[in-house]
C-alpha cells in the first residue's frame, strides 16, 4: 500500500482531504481511484489506513478505516551531522540514511568542503528526497533537516553522546565506544562525518573541546558517504535496531 | 601515496615496469615524475613502495624501496551474491561493497530481475570500478568478480554459511544468526541480496533447500542496494572488522 506523509490538518474526524501535489500524485501519477486504499502518516507516529472516496487532480478525499501505532522507528535517535558533499553524494546520504534509520540531519560547512552552501530550491529538493525515502522505507516519523550551519555551530549544539569519524584516529575505534556503558544507555546519539577531504586536526581538536569523541572505522579508507552509512548501520545494529 | 594493483609479472627483482593504461595513468593523468613514490600491489597481500625512475606515457619504471605485508583485509571473507540491479545501483554496490570489505562478488539473475545480462564491455567496466575502489580504500587484495550466473547456479555453488536477505522474513533476524556459534566461528560467509522487486517465495524455498538461511533486516524496508551495504556493514562490525 502506498504511504504518504501529510499535514496534520488534512485529517479531521476520520476524514482526509488532500489538495495540491499529494492529490496530483495519488490521482494522476499513481492513478489510484475510489475504493483503493492508501496509508497516510501525520508525523505523530500513528499511521492511518484510508479508503479513497474521491480522487481528482485537485482533490483527494477518503475515510480512515484503521489507525495503528507504527513501530518502525528506532528507539535510538541518531542525528547525522554531515558535511556538505558533492550534490549527488549528499543526496545519496540523505536517501540511504533515512532508510537505515537516521532521525535528523544537520548539514554543515567545514574547512575542506568544496561544495558551496545550497540555494533554497536545493533544500526543498532535499526535503522531498527525505520524505520519499521515509515513505518508501516505512518510517513512522519524518526525519528532520536542519538549516546548513558552520562546523563550529554544529559542535556547539550537540548536548549528548557525539562521535566524529576521523580516518587518522587509530586508538579510539567506533566499536569500543558503541560497547561502552554510556552508549548502551544512550537514547540519542550524534555522528559527525566530514567532507571528501576529511577533517583537519584543528577541527578535530575543536570538536574534542566540545566533548565530541573522534573515532576510527577500521583499517580500510571509506569515502565520506560510505563512512556515514557504514557507521549508521553499525550503530543501529549494535542497538538491535537493524538486522 | 597513490596505490595501483599491477600484474605480478611487472615486478621483477625489486624493479617494476609498467606499460599501457597504468603507465598512462601514472605519467599523464596523475603527472607523477621520477623521484615520486607510489605503492603497487600484486594481489598477493604484499604492498611495495616504489620510487619512480622513469615516467613516460608508454613506460613507467621504478625501484622497490620497501615491502610490507598489508593488514587491511578482513579476516572473514564475504562473498556477496547480488542480483542484477539497475546499472547505476549495481555499480554502487560494487564500489561501496569493496570499500566496506566484500571479498568476492557473484552477480546473478533471478525471477524479478528487470535488468538484462550485461555485455562484455560492462563486465570490464565493473572490474575497473572494483579495482579503483580497492586502490582508493587501501585493500590488499582485489575482490573477485564472477561471471553472471542464474539464481539456481548461485544457490548450488555455496558451500558455507549463507544468508539470503528477505524482507518478509520476520522470525529469523540477521543479528540472531550473526550471534550464533556457527557464524562466530565462520571464516567465509555468503550473503544473497535480491533485485529491486525482491525474492518470490519459490526462490526463498529453493535457497532453503540448498541450506541458505533467509533473514530479515528489521522493521524498515530497505532498497536492494541499501540492504546489501547495511548487511555487509553489520556482518563486518559483528566480526570486529569495521568500526
Where do we find the cell 569495521?
Answer: B242
Q: Does A222 touch chain B (CB under 8 A)?
A: yes
Distance CA B105, CA B43 (A): 16
Q: Residue B151: enclosing H or E segment and its boundaries?
A: helix B151-157
In terms of Cα–Cα distance, which of B160, B165, B185 is closest to B175? B165
Contact B214, B172 (CB under 8 A): yes
Cβ-defined contact of A100 to B222 (cutoff 8 Å): yes
The predicted structure's pLDDT at residue A159: 80
The predicted structure's pLDDT at residue B191: 98
Each residue's pLDDT tens digit, B133-151:
999 999 999 999 999 999 9
Neighbour tally for A100: CB within 10 Å:
30
Report the largest interatomic distance among the alpha carbons of chain B, rounded to a whole angstrom: 61
- In sequence order, the 6+-apart residues with CB closer than 8 A to the CB of A209 are none
Where do we find the cell 573541546?
Answer: A209
The predicted structure's pLDDT at residue B134: 98
Each residue's pLDDT tens digit, B164-216:
999 999 889 999 999 999 898 999 999 999 999 999 999 999 999 999 999 99
DSSP secondary structure code for residue B41 in this structure: E
Q: Does A241 touch chain B (CB under 8 A)?
A: yes
Q: What is the average pLDDT value for chain B, to the nearest integer?
A: 95
Residue count of chain A, please give it: 243
The predicted structure's pLDDT at residue B72: 94
Share of chain A above pLDDT 70, in %: 100
Mind giving me the DSSP string for A96-143?
HHHHHT--EEEEEE-TT--SPPPPHHHHHHHHHHHHHHHHHTT-SSPP
Instruction: Give the strand pairing for B188-193 and B77-83.
Output: parallel
Helix (H) and strand (E) counts for chain A?
8, 13
Q: Does B115 touch chain A (CB under 8 A)?
A: no
Query: Cell numbers of B137, please?
Result: 580504500
In terms of Cα–Cα distance, which of A195, A189, A141 is closest to A167? A195
The predicted structure's pLDDT at residue B26: 95
The predicted structure's pLDDT at residue B112: 96
Cβ-defined contact of A218 to B241 (cutoff 8 Å): yes
Q: How far is CA A233 from CA A68, B224, B228, B237, in A?
A: 27, 15, 11, 9
Name the residue among A219, A223, A241 with its Cβ closest to that of B218. A241
Q: Does B39 touch chain A (CB under 8 A)?
A: no
Cβ-defined contact of B230 to A231 (cutoff 8 Å): no
Contact A135, A40 (CB under 8 A): no
Contact B86, B112 (CB under 8 A): no
Residues of chain A with Cβ-Cβ distance to B241 below 8 Å are 218
**What beta strand segments (E) does B132-173 contain?**
144-145, 149-150, 162-165
Q: Does A224 touch chain B (CB under 8 A)?
A: no
B-chain residue closest to A239, CA distance: B175
Q: How far is B178 from chain A (nearest CA, A)?
A: 9
DSSP secondary structure code for residue A73 in this structure: S
> Distance from CA of residue A134 to its chain's centroid?
8
Q: What is the average pLDDT value for chain A, to the nearest integer?
A: 95
Residues of chain A with Cβ-Cβ distance to B101 below 8 Å are 220
Cβ-defined contact of B137 to A233 (cutoff 8 Å): no
Cβ-defined contact of A222 to B138 (cutoff 8 Å): no
Query: Cell numbers of B211, please?
Result: 541450506
Name the residue among A220, A231, A238 with its Cβ closest to that of B139. A220
pLDDT band (50, 70, 90) for residue B243: confident
Q: Does A69 touch chain B (CB under 8 A)?
A: no
A-chain residue closest to B216, CA distance: A243
Cβ-defined contact of B217 to A243 (cutoff 8 Å): yes
- Range A1-5 average pLDDT: 95
Instruction: Give the strand pairing for A213-215 and B77-83.
Output: unpaired
- In sequence order, the 6+-apart residues with CB closer than 8 A to the CB of B78 are B101, B102, B103, B104, B188, B189, B190, B191, B232, B235, B236
Q: Does B71 touch chain A (CB under 8 A)?
A: yes
- Range A64-84 average pLDDT: 96
The predicted structure's pLDDT at residue A117: 87
Touching B: A residues 83-112, CB under 8 Å: 96, 99-101
**ipTM value for the complex:** 0.94
Mean pLDDT lowest for which of A180-184, A213-217, B206-210, B235-239? A180-184
Rg (CA), chain A: 20
Each residue's pLDDT tens digit, A57-73:
999 999 999 999 999 99
A-chain residue closest to B231, CA distance: A243
- Asked whether residue A20 carries a pLDDT value surpassing 80, the answer given is yes
> Distance from CA of residue A13 to its chain's centroid?
30
- Asked whether residue B114 carries a pLDDT value surpassing 90, the answer given is yes
The predicted structure's pLDDT at residue A160: 76
Give the pTM.
0.95
Distance CA A57, CA A20 (A): 8
Q: How far is CA A189 from CA A8, A158, A174, B181, B193, in A?
A: 28, 9, 13, 31, 29
- Range B222-236 average pLDDT: 97
In terms of Cα–Cα distance, which of A239, A232, A238, A241 is closest to A78? A232
In terms of Cα–Cα distance, which of A96, A136, A138 is closest to B227? A96
In terms of Cα–Cα distance, which of B9, B20, B18, B66 is closest to B42? B9
Q: Does A170 touch chain B (CB under 8 A)?
A: no
- Asked whether residue B160 carries a pLDDT value surpassing 80, the answer given is no
Q: How far is B204 from chain A (nearest CA, A)?
A: 18
Each residue's pLDDT tens digit, A107-159:
999 999 998 889 999 999 999 999 999 999 999 999 999 999 999 999 999 98
Interface A-B: count of C-beta contacts within 8 A: 110
Each residue's pLDDT tens digit, A171-196:
899 999 999 998 989 999 999 999 99
Q: Does B3 touch chain A (CB under 8 A)?
A: no
Phi first, then psi, for residue A101 (nearest 5°) are 140, 25
Q: Does A163 touch chain B (CB under 8 A)?
A: no
Mean pLDDT lowest for which of A181-185, A231-235, B37-41, B201-205? A181-185
Amino acid at each position: 500500500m502506498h504511504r504518504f506523509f501529510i499535514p496534520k490538518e488534512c485529517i479531521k474526524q476520520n476524514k482526509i482531504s488532500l489538495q495540491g501535489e499529494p492529490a496530483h500524485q495519488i490521482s494522476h501519477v499513481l492513478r489510484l481511484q475510489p475504493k483503493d486504499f492508501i496509508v497516510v502518516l501525520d508525523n505523530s507516529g500513528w499511521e492511518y489506513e484510508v479508503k479513497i472516496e474521491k480522487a481528482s487532480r485537485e482533490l483527494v478525499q477518503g475515510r480512515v478505516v484503521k489507525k495503528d501505532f507504527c513501530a518502525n522507528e528506532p528507539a535510538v535517535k541518531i542525528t547525522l551531522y554531515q558535511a556538505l558533499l558533492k550534490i549527488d553524494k549528499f543526496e545519496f546520504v540523505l536517501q540511504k540514511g533515512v532508510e537505515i534509520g537516521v532521525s535528523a540531519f544537520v548539514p554543515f560547512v567545514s574547512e575542506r568542503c568544496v561544495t558551496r552552501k545550497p540555494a533554497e530550491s536545493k533544500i526543498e529538493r532535499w526535503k522531498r528526497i527525505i520524505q520519499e525515502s521515509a515513505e518508501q522505507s516505512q518510517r513512522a516519523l519524518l526525519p528532520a533537516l536542519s538549516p546548513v550551519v558552520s562546523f563550529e555551530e554544529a559542535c556547539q549544539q550537540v548536548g549528548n553522546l557525539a562521535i566524529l569519524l576521523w580516518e587518522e584516529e587509530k586508538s579510539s575505534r567506533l566499536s569500543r565506544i558503541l560497547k561502552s556503558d554510556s552508549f548502551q544507555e544512550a537514547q540519542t546519539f550524534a555522528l559527525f562525518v566530514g567532507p571528501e577531504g576529511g577533517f583537519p586536526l584543528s577541527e578535530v581538536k575543536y570538536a574534542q573541546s566540545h566533548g565530541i569523541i573522534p573515532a576510527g572505522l577500521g583499517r580500510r579508507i571509506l569515502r565520506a558517504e560510505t563512512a556515514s552509512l557504514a557507521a549508521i548501520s553499525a550503530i543501529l545494529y549494535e542497538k538491535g535496531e537493524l538486522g
